[in-house]
Structure 1
Amino acid sequence: MTSFGLVKGVRARITLVDPCGKPIAGPRSRIVTTGWISANVEPQMREAEDLEQTNAEGRVCVSDRTPPERKWNNVTLELCKVNTCLIGLMTGWELVLDWEGKPVGFSDQKEIPTDRGVALEIWSGVGMDDECEVPTDDDILAPGAASAALPYGYTLLPVVREMQVGAIEYGASVSTITLTGITANGVRWGRGPYNVVATDGANTAGRLLQPIKQGQHKRVLYTTIAPPEATEDCCGLILPTPYYGETAIDVAPAQPACGLEPSNEVQSAAITGTPTGGTYTLEFDGQETSALAYNANAAAIQAALQALPTIGAGNVLVTGTGPYTITFAGDLAGFNVVTIIADDALLTGGTDPAVTITVVTPGGVWA
């Protein structure tokens, strides 16, 4: 049995997730920081309730009690160095950009987003008396041996949502920013996108050995895998594949170096066979466009694609006069998206008219 204390916060990593803990891959989805003072995690309980019934004489004839239940954890994070991207990740607030397009601040907003959250990972020391175990053999002398690695405490909150910035005091003292939120069920975090625990006696870093289960809001454990280095800004996130289930891989891929940008997916739509009439449709991720005329121009194709709920306004650009170049942008920039499917059965005239979709540039390639 392992016993350890939690002392001195060493590092914190914040990752953008959906309301159930699924990591959201993208070019600015994670940040690692040392710029925090404290993190407080306090259970919010549903108190036990006494159940009692008296008889006609006024004496207790039935007495019982409902069990207490943890509803969520109240999370308070106090920052001493305010990275604008960190604030944006945790609150969903709009970032203020300078003339070069670099984030230099943030603006608050009236609504508190409920369709997103962050995963908060915290590494701590384990106490000086617990750092050094007594060797029982010479295995500790082998390079990279797990028994020679220094231990850390690791705390995971797979979903923290409804983050809000508290009061900021300006005066003759250092100003800090305090963020508060609540935890939620983090079952979609699974085993996570990062390597945080040892998977064998050689101290090979891998994903969590057991996934987050239904109703779990917090996990605390002892690990011999060192925390990641702090990053200067938000960085790209890629996910292991397969991510879930019995076939999920044990060791996650290395995350992209900060500062790199993933490629935007570019697809091409070529209309061949010289049709003289009829229509065709395009399907993206299960949603089909309205009918497009055989000679529809780039603007019409772009409007039809942006009208799809799986794409949305501003998330695809169409150029050219045939073949048409379809570039994914906006919320779909930097992702390896599904390939568009064309239904050309209603094209007429010409010789075997068809619409052919090809991937010119795969999205999500980091370079």
Structure 2
Amino acid sequence: MPCPLIANADVIRVTRVDRCGRPVCGEDNGFVFDCFATLAMNPNTEDGDDIAYTAANGRQCGFKRGCPSFNGYDIELSFFSVSPEFIEITTGNPPVYGFDGKPIGYDDCSLKCDSGFALELWAEVLGEDVCDADGGDGAWIYFLMPWVTNGMLGDLEIGNEAVSLTLTGATRAGGGWARGPYDVMPTNLAGTPGPLLTPLGPTCHRRTLVTSVAPPEPVCDYTPVLCGTSA
């Protein structure tokens, strides 16, 4: 599949990470959903300083273009489902529980800059040969941003139209995601699902690849994060 075409976005998974960017294991540390409209990943850069060598007579003797600095991605997720579990993982806002101990809402509190989450997105791939890839049942473009911080909800307006919410955040490089706690790509010619074959480098903010391993099913509840030797 040399030239994959990205179709519609399919599924997003968020995973709680600690203040060092490592996935947190446990029953209540993941969430998978598909009720979202868009995910923007906007590069945050700073222009470098250009250096110009100008002679006394005004003639330019030399010029060196400054090297921009890449600070990461500013993300903006537009979504519809008001899930206390998702909001708790991404923003740190505490859930409100009902009589049966299940989350029924959330509180808007001070911004927790020491919390973080990983964000994975699967988007369908178009092509006649997608079902031949590694013996799978299709193919997806897989995006991974293993360390997102400063999660915050945006403006909320409720009226007579469909209501959407906005989550913003910013990626960080490094962290301890390593190969990850999930099976997201084929690891051999037989198409056996497994974790990432190689971890992201210490200066990397995002990974994008084509995979024949299907995304997880959306579940309107916490999902477990089972960390093994791959994480």
TM norm structure 2: 0.92
Q: In the superposition, relative to structure 1, how do residues 130 and 8 fare at CA in structure 2: closer, same or farther (>3 Å)?
A: farther
Query: In percent, how many aligned pairs have the same letter?
Result: 33
d(CA) in 2 for partners of 1:149, 1:93: 38
Q: In the superposition, relative to structure 1, how do residues 148 and 119 fare at CA in structure 2: closer, same or farther (>3 Å)?
A: closer
The CA RMSD over aligned residues, in Å, is: 1.8
d(CA) in 2 for partners of 1:214, 1:147: 33
Deviations 1:329-349 (A, max 9, x none): xxxxxxxxxxxxxxxxxxxxx
Alignment partner of 1:196 out of 142, 165, 184? 184
d(CA) in 1 for partners of 2:230, 2:162: 46
User: What letter matches 1:178 in structure 2?
Assistant: T
Q: What is the number of equivalent residue pairs in this alignment?
A: 231
Offset, 1:62:
3.8
Alignment of 1:1-367 (within 5 A): 2-110=2-110, 112-129=111-128, 131-132=130-131, 146-241=134-229, 243=231
Offset, 1:64:
1.0
SS in 1 for 2:5: coil
SS in 2 for 1:220: strand
Offset, 1:124:
0.8
Query: Structure 1 residues 164-173 or 61-70, which shifts more?
Result: 61-70
Could you say which structure has the higher strand fraction? Answer: 2
Kindly indicate whether the alpha-carbon contact (under 8 Å) linking 1:16 and 1:30 is maintained by their aligned counterparts in 2. yes
Kindly indicate whether the alpha-carbon contact (under 8 Å) linking 1:187 and 1:213 is maintained by their aligned counterparts in 2. no
Offset, 1:242:
6.0
Query: Structure 1 residues 174-183 or 233-242, which shifts more?
Result: 233-242
d(CA) in 1 for partners of 2:128, 2:48: 38
d(CA) in 1 for partners of 2:103, 2:72: 33
Q: In the superposition, relative to structure 1, how do residues 205 and 72 fare at CA in structure 2: closer, same or farther (>3 Å)?
A: same
Kindly indicate whether the alpha-carbon contact (under 8 Å) linking 1:185 and 1:216 is maintained by their aligned counterparts in 2. yes
Higher relative contact order (CA 8 A, sep 6+): 2
- The structure whose Rg is larger is 1
User: What letter matches 2:8 in structure 1?
Assistant: K
d(CA) in 1 for partners of 2:174, 2:162: 35
| Structure 2 unpaired stretches of 5+ | none
Kindly indicate whether the alpha-carbon contact (under 8 Å) linking 1:20 and 1:185 is maintained by their aligned counterparts in 2. no
d(CA) in 2 for partners of 1:32, 1:233: 8
Q: In the superposition, relative to structure 1, how do residues 218 and 20 fare at CA in structure 2: closer, same or farther (>3 Å)?
A: farther
d(CA) in 2 for partners of 1:26, 1:3: 38
Kindly indicate whether the alpha-carbon contact (under 8 Å) linking 2:136 and 2:191 is maintained by their aligned counterparts in 1. no
| Structure 1 unpaired stretches of 5+ | 134-144, 244-367
Kindly indicate whether the alpha-carbon contact (under 8 Å) linking 1:20 and 1:189 is maintained by their aligned counterparts in 2. no
Kindly indicate whether the alpha-carbon contact (under 8 Å) linking 2:195 and 2:230 is maintained by their aligned counterparts in 1. no
